C-alpha cells in the first residue's frame, strides 16, 4: 500500500508543465501527428473530432516527445520547421517538450546508427565533433530565438551502438574514444545553448531495452561521458528478454547507481489488436505479447498501467508512449501505404479512430500490479 500511495502522489504532483521545475513526466511521442493530419487523419473522443494534443493534455500528459533528423530528403517532416510547429502546439497547452536528436537522415535505433550524408566523408575526429556540436547548438539556438527551447534534450536515439556509424556497425564493438568524444560534443552543445536561454534543457542519453542499459552506462561513464541528467530507456516485449518486473528492477538499480539522474521510460507500446486496417503489416504482432496481457483494449490498458507502476514504484521519473497517434491513412511511408503501427495506437480504427482507454496510463488507479517474474 505504501508503494501504491507513493505512486499516486507522484502522479498528483505532475501538474502543468509551465508550473513545473521538473518531473515526473508523463506523455507521448507525437512526432507523426502533423503528418497524419496532413494525410487526413481524424482523432475522436466520445464521438467528437478533437485535436490530439488536447486529448493527451486532458488525459494527464505534461510532456510531448518530438524527433528531429539531420537532412531527411525523403520526407518533409521531423525537420526544424516541423519541429517548431509541434513545439508550438505543445507549448500552447502548457506541456513540456523532449527533443530527440537522431543524428541521422533516417531512423536511428538500437540496431543502427547511420551517419548523416553531409558528414559521411569526415574522417578527422575534431571536425566530426564540431559538425555534431554545431548542428545541435544551431538547432537549439534557432528554437530558442522563437521561444521554443525544449526542456529536455536527447543526445542520440537508442544509442546502443556507436553513433554516426554505418549500417553494418552494429556487429562491431563500440570505439569508446570516438563515441565518447561525439556524445560529449552533443552534450556540450546543449549546455552552451542553454547557457544563453531562460530554459536550461536537461540532457538525456537513451538506450533500447532494459538489459542493455546498465552495461552501456558503465562503459560510457568509464569513457568519460558523465555530464547527463537523465537516463532514457526503451522497453518493448518484442525485443526485450525482461518482464515488467525485470524492467522495474533495472530502474531501481539505475536510480541507486546514478542518483543524480532521472530515469524515464521514454519509449514503450503495446497492441490493442492483432488486426490491421491497411496494406502494411504490423510491427507489434503476436511476438510482442506478454503473458497476461492480451491484444485487446483492456490488455493494452492494463499493460500500460502496470508498466507505469513498475517504473514509478522503483524510483523512475516518468513514462512516454511511442507514437500513439500513428494511425492508418492513405499516405505512403517508406514501407508502403498506411501505418505499420495502427494496432498499437490509442485510437480504434474499427470505430473511426475512437479513443482507447490505455491513454489513462498517465493517471491510473492503484489496482493490482504486475505479478509475472
Please provide the DSSP assignment of 169-211 as one string. Answer: GGGS---HHHHHHHHHHHHHHHHHHHHTSSS-PEEEEEEESHH
- pLDDT for 334 equals 86
The string of pLDDT tens digits covering residues 248-266 is 999 999 999 999 999 999 9
Q: Classify each residue of 161-188 as buried b or exposed e, where b means 16 or more C-beta atoms within 10 Å of its C-beta.
A: bbbbbeeebeeeebebebbbbbbbbbbb
**Where in the sequence numbering do the catalytic residues fall?**
158, 267
Tell me how far apart the alpha carbons of residues 48 and 311 are, in angstroms, rounded to a whole number: 33
Q: Is residue 47 part of a domain?
A: yes
Residue 13, pLDDT above cutoff 50: no
Q: Is residue 367 part of a domain?
A: no
Nearest 5 degrees, angle CA 174-CA 69-CA 280? Answer: 95
Reported confidence tier of residue 22, pLDDT bands at 50, 70, 90: confident
Reported confidence tier of residue 64, pLDDT bands at 50, 70, 90: very high
- pLDDT for 36 equals 98
Tell me how far apart the alpha carbons of residues 160 and 158 are, in angstroms, rounded to a whole number: 6
- pLDDT for 335 equals 86
- pLDDT for 310 equals 98
The string of pLDDT tens digits covering residues 118-159 is 999 999 999 999 999 999 999 999 999 999 999 999 999 999
Q: What is the mean pLDDT of the chain?
A: 93
Residue 4, pLDDT above cutoff 80: no
Q: Can you tell me the mean pLDDT for 107-122?
A: 97
Reported confidence tier of residue 16, pLDDT bands at 50, 70, 90: very low
Residue 30, pLDDT above cutoff 90: yes
- pLDDT for 11 equals 52
Reported confidence tier of residue 282, pLDDT bands at 50, 70, 90: very high
- pLDDT for 9 equals 47
Closest CA to 98 of 130, 123, 65, 54: 65
Cβ(328)–Cβ(343) below 8 Å: no
Residue 221, pLDDT above cutoff 80: yes
Residue 299 is part of which domain span?
Answer: 2-362
* Total tally of structural domains belonging to the chain: 1
Provide the 3-class DSSP secondary structure of residue 337. strand
Percentage of the residues of the chain whose pLDDT score is greater than 70: 92
Q: What is the CATH number of the domain that holds 196?
A: 3.20.20.80
Q: Is residue 74 part of a domain?
A: yes
- pLDDT for 21 equals 54
Cell of 160: 546502443
Q: Is 24 left (phi over 0), alpha (psi -120 to 50) or beta?
A: beta
Tell me how far apart the alpha carbons of residues 121 and 66 are, in angstroms, rounded to a whole number: 28
Q: Is residue 142 part of a domain?
A: yes
Residue 351, pLDDT above cutoff 60: yes
More confident residue, 23 or 300: 300
Percentage of the residues of the chain whose pLDDT score is greater than 90: 88
Q: Is residue 174 part of a domain?
A: yes
Q: Is residue 369 part of a domain?
A: no
- pLDDT for 171 equals 87
Closest CA to 64 of 45, 36, 83, 42: 83
More confident residue, 130 or 22: 130
The string of pLDDT tens digits covering residues 157-195 is 999 999 999 988 988 999 999 999 999 999 999 999 999
Q: Is residue 368 part of a domain?
A: no
- pLDDT for 363 equals 83
More confident residue, 21 or 198: 198
Q: Is residue 57 part of a domain?
A: yes
Amino acid at each position: 500500500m505504501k508503494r501504491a500511495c507513493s505512486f499516486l502522489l507522484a502522479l498528483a504532483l505532475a501538474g502543468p508543465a509551465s508550473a513545473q521545475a521538473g518531473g515526473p513526466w508523463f506523455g507521448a511521442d507525437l512526432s507523426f501527428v502533423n503528418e497524419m493530419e496532413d494525410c487526413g487523419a481524424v482523432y475522436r473522443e466520445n464521438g467528437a473530432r478533437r485535436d490530439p494534443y488536447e486529448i493527451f493534455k486532458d488525459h494527464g500528459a505534461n510532456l510531448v516527445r518530438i524527433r528531429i533528423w539531420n537532412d531527411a530528403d525523403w520526407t518533409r517532416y521531423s525537420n526544424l520547421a516541423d519541429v517548431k510547429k509541434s513545439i508550438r502546439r505543445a507549448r500552447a497547452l502548457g506541456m513540456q517538450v523532449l527533443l530527440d536528436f537522431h543524428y541521422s537522415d533516417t531512423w536511428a535505433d538500437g540496431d543502427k546508427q547511420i551517419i548523416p550524408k553531409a558528414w559521411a566523408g569526415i574522417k578527422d575526429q575534431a571536425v566530426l565533433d564540431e559538425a555534431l556540436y554545431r548542428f545541435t547548438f544551431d538547432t537549439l539556438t534557432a528554437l530558442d530565438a522563437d521561444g521554443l527551447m525544449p526542456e529536455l534534450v536527447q543526445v542520440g536515439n537508442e544509442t546502443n551502438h556507436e553513433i554516426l556509424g554505418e549500417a553494418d556497425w552494429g556487429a562491431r564493438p563500440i570505439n569508446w574514444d570516438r563515441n565518447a568524444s561525439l556524445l560529449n560534443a552533443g552534450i556540450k552543445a546543449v549546455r552552451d545553448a542553454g547557457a544563453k536561454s531562460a530554459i536550461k534543457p536537461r540532457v538525456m542519453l537513451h538506450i533500447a531495452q532494459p538489459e542493455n542499459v546498465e552495461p552501456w552506462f558503465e562503459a560510457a561513464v568509464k569513457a568519460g561521458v558523465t555530464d547527463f541528467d537523465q537516463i532514457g530507456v526503451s522497453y518493448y516485449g518484442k525485443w526485450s528478454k525482461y518482464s515488467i518486473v525485470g524492467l522495474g528492477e533495472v530502474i531501481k538499480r539505475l536510480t541507486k547507481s546514478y542518483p543524480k539522474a532521472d530515469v524515464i521510460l521514454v519509449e514503450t507500446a503495446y497492441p490493442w489488436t492483432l488486426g490491421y486496417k491497411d496494406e502494411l503489416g504490423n510491427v507489434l504482432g503476436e511476438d510482442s505479447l506478454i503473458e497476461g496481457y492480451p491484444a485487446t483494449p483492456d490488455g493494452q490498458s492494463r499493460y500500460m498501467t502496470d508498466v507505469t507502476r513498475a517504473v514509478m514504484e522503483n524510483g523512475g521519473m516518468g513514462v512516454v508512449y511511442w507514437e500513439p497517434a500513428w494511425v492508418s491513412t492513405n499516405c505512403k511511408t517508406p514501407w508502403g501505404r498506411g501505418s505499420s503501427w495502427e494496432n498499437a495506437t490509442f485510437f480504434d480504427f474499427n470505430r473511426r479512430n475512437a479513443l482507447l482507454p490505455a491513454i489513462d496510463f498517465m493517471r491510473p488507479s492503484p489496482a493490482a500490479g504486475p505479478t509475472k517474474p
